């Protein structure tokens, strides 16, 4: 069975590519044929992780989706047997969402036995309003059969407003019936943030860091990165065993 995991958000710099890379690595032990697809028309960061063998695919011409090019993207998914992780760019968010809805792409996937899960990122700080707005748009417009996982990224601060946690905000209460799970990227110490930042800047996987020499990544740096990995993968384990993923 094919499951498409699409990482979406209209706000740039919120961690979409990092999440895509982590999803691809998480699924690999359960499915060696994980297919990574980077469709960001501006920054193909996900495709930069060489160890993940991600395919860079373009279906945008400026701000428009090109149907013939999107058909190739669709065929790539439909011809794959296993997990597909797709990282999308912020600039393509609105036109892509509109195209998916108008062309009933998710209904097509359902008819052909493909499960679709949308991973939406919300962040704290100044981008909170923009990211929860994007979440609300997707939750309200995408078909009910499309799964929805929210990633709370606390890198810019707690995901809250007016002292209310995300789960207490109106946007969550309005869409709680659509949200199948939440993964929290907890706020980290500066040492952990720097270690993870170095890993991502180098486009390295957790396995590559683990195998790196002590000169490149010393014991404590590896340990900090692995603690971050365990925190995220532990939450994904819960969603996977619960049938969300």
Q: What is the pLDDT of residues 135-153, one digit of tens each?
A: 999 999 999 999 999 999 9
Q: Is residue 126 part of a domain?
A: yes
Q: For strands 55-56 and 35-38, give the pairing.
A: parallel
The C-alpha atoms of residue 161 and residue 151 are separated, in whole angstroms, by 16
Q: Is residue 172 part of a domain?
A: yes
> Nearest 5°: CA angle at 25, between 50 and 127?
90
pLDDT score of 42? 87
Domain that holds residue 87: 3-189
Q: Model-level pTM?
A: 0.96
The C-alpha atoms of residue 140 and residue 35 are separated, in whole angstroms, by 28
Q: What is the CATH number of the domain that holds 47?
A: 3.40.50.300
Q: Is residue 54 part of a domain?
A: yes
> Nearest 5°: CA angle at 179, between 75 and 132?
95
Mean pLDDT, residues 35-57 taken together:
94
Q: Would you give the DSSP letter of residue 54? A: P
Q: Is residue 197 part of a domain?
A: no
Taking only the tens place, the pLDDT of each residue in 61-84 is 988 999 999 999 999 999 999 999
Q: Residue 232: is its pLDDT beyond 90?
A: yes
Confidence of residue 46 (pLDDT cuts 50, 70, 90): very high
Q: Is residue 240 part of a domain?
A: no
Mean pLDDT, residues 209-216 taken together:
93
pLDDT score of 1? 82
Q: Is residue 116 part of a domain?
A: yes
Distances (CA, A) of 154 to 111, 157, 160, 186, 204: 37, 5, 10, 5, 22
Q: Is residue 239 part of a domain?
A: no
Total number of domains in the chain: 1
pLDDT score of 184? 97
pLDDT score of 214? 86
Taking only the tens place, the pLDDT of each residue in 92-133 is 999 999 999 999 999 999 999 999 999 999 999 999 999 999
Q: Is residue 213 part of a domain?
A: no
């Amino acid at each position: 069975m094919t499951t498409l995991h699409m990482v979406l958000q209209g706000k740039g710099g919120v961690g979409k590519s990092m999440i895509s890379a982590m999803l691809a690595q998480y699924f690999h032990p359960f499915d060696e044929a994980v297919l990574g697809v980077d469709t960001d028309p501006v920054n193909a960061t996900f495709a930069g992780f060489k160890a993940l063998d991600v395919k860079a695919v373009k279906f945008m011409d400026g701000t428009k989706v090109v149907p013939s090019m999107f058909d190739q993207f669709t065929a790539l998914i439909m011809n794959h047997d296993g997990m597909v992780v797709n990282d999308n760019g912020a600039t393509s968010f609105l036109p892509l969402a509109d195209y998916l809805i108008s062309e009933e792409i998710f209904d097509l996937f359902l008819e052909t036995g493909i499960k679709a899960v949308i991973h939406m990122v919300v962040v704290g700080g100044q981008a909170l309003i923009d990211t929860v707005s994007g979440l609300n748009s997707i939750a309200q417009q995408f078909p009910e059969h499309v799964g929805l996982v929210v990633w709370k990224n606390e890198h810019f601060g707690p995901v809250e407003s007016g002292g209310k946690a995300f789960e207490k905000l109106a946007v969550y209460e309005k869409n709680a019936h659509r949200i199948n799970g939440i993964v929290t990227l907890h706020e980290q110490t500066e040492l952990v943030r720097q270690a993870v930042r170095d890993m991502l800047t180098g486009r390295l996987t957790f396995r590559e860091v683990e195998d790196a020499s002590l000169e490149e990544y010393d014991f404590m740096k590896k340990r900090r990165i692995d603690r971050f990995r365990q925190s995220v993968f532990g939450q994904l384990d819960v969603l996977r065993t619960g049938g969300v993923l």
